[in-house]
Structure formats: structure tokens, C-alpha cells
Amino acid sequence: MSDPFNPRSSRRTFLASAAGGAAAFYCTIGNTKVTLANPGDIKKADAIAAAVPRPPILGASTRSNVSLRATKRGTAFDPVDKLSFPRPTPAPGGKYVEYWIRARTVKWNIVPTKRDDWHGTPIPGKSTFKAAVYQEMTPGFAEPKGPANMPGPLLHAEVGDVLVVHFQNDLGDLNQAVTFHPHGVKYTPDYDGVYLGDYTRIGGFIAPGESFTYRFECKPDSVGVWPYHDHGPNHTVNTMRGLFGALVVREKGASAPDVENLVVFHSLIPPITGLARAFSCVNGRAFAGNTPTFRSKVGQDVAFYITGMDNDFHDFHMHGHRWKTPAGDFTDNPAVGPNEVAIVRFVEDNPGRWLYHCHVFAHQDGGMAGWYLVDP
């Protein structure tokens, strides 16, 4: 938070920091630590990220060549670093479920309507920045399946399946390695999708223009909804500028809800966007009418999947509704930490216009609210 009592603290400073999420942060990119505090600093982070060299160790086929001696940078290998891993195959009755996903940049408007439809208030000022998102493509990356969106596509698989994500780094002039790191599914270190410096496995550094195919097992304890996000060398910056989404794993043959909505609470802050103020967002947008307007009909089986993708903890409040928690009691306001997930599911019985919002007052007021319309 800024210091509002300090007379030297400008209003612009306040707006930059008030809407949730640290307005400054500290991150490690390759072997450099960098402070991101000013709007211009993202250029610095991107330049450092573009210079991160491809780690020398690239995966299963080359693991037998790994020296277990320490590197010049002080890395001390362990026998586990020499292991190689088989490709997963579906469990009996399971199948391969394939997605083609590319990381790309997109000119993204956080407040396209320039107003808050809840209060009828104008939201003046610049709200467009260069985001990075995961976009679903047709097989072979032939063409987009739909517009670039934040979050990325909601992926679906069942227990026993192998979820196959063909991933392409198409970030263009950002010119840096990214990855696809999922929660909840089982993967070998090759498919972890995480940059680990000298310990990096093949899926942890997908260089600009390259593709890689990840293979994830859906196990009985993968049932649930799980975020995915970048975990490459510049992961904090890239996740915060939009490289996130979620996947759903159901029991084999379990019925899907009629309506399925993903709600990602996060902030878009000046060091990431270069904009003058911070926004408290749902799915990359701030203020009702910009954030998703969800819709369903009385009698439908409705699901909302709630997660957080910044440094803050959030509460999801949906007016007019309550539902059972996994523990068996009832809530209308579950909390989620970063990358935690709360599953909301109910049979719709309450028509009308409803407000949903994060119940952290400062987030709600900073734009983390929207509409849910229920037809009779």
C-alpha cells in the first residue's frame, strides 16, 4: 500500500497501489534478480528474460549425459537429476485428450466499456496493455479456435486419461522462453513445465518459436479443477500479464454441469501493464460490464470455479445463492489463496440480476465485481 498520509505521496501513486496486489515486486529471471516497481521496469524484465540461455540439459534423451559434478554456477547435481522417465499412457479405459495451445501476445483492454455498470460510473484513463495469453488452436496449430482470451481455455479430461497439451511459444517480440505448468494432474519431471536453471528438464524452457508436447496423467486424486500457468524463467511477470487458465478432471462418466464458469481473481498492476493505475480484475477485466457477465436458467446445474492469480487472498461472494462445501457445510463466500481453487456448484433456483464480487472491500471497489443473470 502507498502511504496516503505522506503529503509527498501523489494521487497517482495511490491509484497505482490501492486496487489490490503489491504494486511492486521482486523476481528472479534466469540468474538475475530484478525489482519491478515502475511501469518501465517490465521492459527491463523482458530484456533479462530474452537473454536467459537455454539450459544445457534438455530431457529424457540426453539425461544419461548429465554430469553429476557441480557446474561453474555452483549447481550440484543429484542422482535423481540423471533419471529418465517413460511417456505416460492412458489407464485401462482411458484415452488421450489432445489440445493445441499457443502462448501469444494480445492488445488487451481491461475496461473496454470505460464504465462501471454497477454504479453507472465512468472509468476514465488508459486501460489497454500488451498481455500474454494461452490461446486454443485447431489441431496442428492450424488456426485459432476462438479469440485470444484471458484466462486461456478451460481444458477437460477424465480420470484415466492422458491430457496431451501441444504447446507453442508464439510470443513474438517478447522473445523469451515460456512453459505450460498445470496443477492437479500427474507428470514426470520432463512434463513439469518448470524452469529450474541447470536442473531444467525438457518441458521447462520452450524457446521463442518452439513447440513442445506435454503429457499429463489424470489420476483418481486429480479429480477437481486446477489452474495452469507459465513457469518459465520469467514466470511471475508472464503469469501476471495473462498466461494462466484452468483444467477440469472428472471421474470417468461423471456428469458435467450445464453451465461452467471460470472466475480468476487477480490484479493488473502498473509494473506489469505500464498503466497509471492498478485494476482489481476478474478474468483480465475490471468493473461490472467488463468482467464476465455470466448467465444461466432456472433448473440448470451451474458451476463456478474460483481461483486467484496474484499475491492476494480473495473471497467469492455470489448474491442470492448458497452451496455446499467439500466439508458438507454451506457457504456463499469461500476464500481462495493464489492458485487455490474453490468449486461452487448448485442447481439454479433464483432468477434475476445478481452481483458477484470479491468480498475484500478494496478489491470489490477496485473492479473485482460483475453480473450473473438468471433467466426464469
Residue with cell 476514465: 124
Q: Which of residues 88-107 bind its own copies (CB under 8 A)?
A: none
Is there binding between residue 192 and its own copies (CB under 8 A)? yes
Q: Kindly state the smallest distance separating residue 149's Cβ from its own copies, in Å.
A: 22
Lay out the site mask for its own copies across 345-364 (x = CB under 8 A, - = otherwise): ----xxxxxxx---xxxxxx
Q: Kindly state the smallest distance separating residue 145's Cβ from its own copies, in Å.
A: 28
Q: Kindly state the smallest distance separating residue 93's Cβ from its own copies, in Å.
A: 20
Is there binding between residue 323 and its own copies (CB under 8 A)? yes
Whose Cβ is closer to its own copies: residue 209's or residue 352's? 352
Name the maximum alpha-carbon separation found in the chain: 68
CA distances from 242 to 154, 272, 283 (A): 14, 10, 9
Q: Kindly state the smallest distance separating residue 94's Cβ from its own copies, in Å.
A: 17
Is there binding between residue 310 and its own copies (CB under 8 A)? yes
Whose Cβ is closer to its own copies: residue 152's or residue 184's? 184
CA–CA gap between residue 246 and residue 227 (Å, rounded)? 4
**CA contacts within 13 A on the Cβ side of 212:** 26
Is there binding between residue 324 and its own copies (CB under 8 A)? yes
Residue with cell 489440445: 99
DSSP conformational letter for 343: E
Q: Which of residues 14-43 bind its own copies (CB under 8 A)?
A: 14-19, 22-33, 35, 37-38
Among positions 152, 153, 334, 370, the unique one binding its own copies when judged by CB under 8 A: 334
Amino acid at 195: Y
Look at residues 195, 202, 208 and name the one whose alpha carbon lies nearest to residue 169: 208
Task: Copy the grid coordinates of residue 273.
Answer: 501493464
Q: Which of residues 263-282 bind its own copies (CB under 8 A)?
A: 270-271
Is there binding between residue 251 and its own copies (CB under 8 A)? no
Is there binding between residue 247 and its own copies (CB under 8 A)? no
Among positions 42, 94, 104, 116, the unique one binding its own copies when judged by CB under 8 A: 116
Cβ–Cβ under 8 Å, residues 323 and 345: yes
CA–CA gap between residue 118 and residue 133 (Å, rounded)? 27
Is there binding between residue 121 and its own copies (CB under 8 A)? yes
State the CB neighbour count (10 A cutoff) for residue 324: 12
